[in-house]
Amino acid sequence: EPEVTQTPSHQVTQMGQEVILRCVPISNHLYFYWYRQILGQKVEFLVSFYNNEISEKSEIFDDQFSVERPDGSNFTLKIRSTKLEDSAMYFCASSERESNQPQHFGDGTRLSIL
Q: Which is nearer to other proteins, 14 or 100 (CB)?
A: 100
Least Å distance between CB 104 and other proteins?
7
Q: Which is nearer to other proteins, 1 or 14 (CB)?
A: 1
Sheet holding 65-68, edge to edge: 5-7, 19-24, 75-79, 65-68
Which of 44, 66, 69, 76 touches other proteins (CB under 8 A)? 44
Tell me the pairing of strands 31-37 and 44-50: antiparallel
Nearest Cα to Cα of residue 13 among 90, 91, 92, 81:
81
Q: Report the 10 Å Cβ neighbour count for 52.
A: 7
Residue 33 binds to other proteins (criterion: CB under 8 A): yes
Q: Which chain residues interact with other proteins by CB under 8 A? A: 31, 33, 35, 41-45, 48, 50, 55-56, 58, 89, 91, 98-108
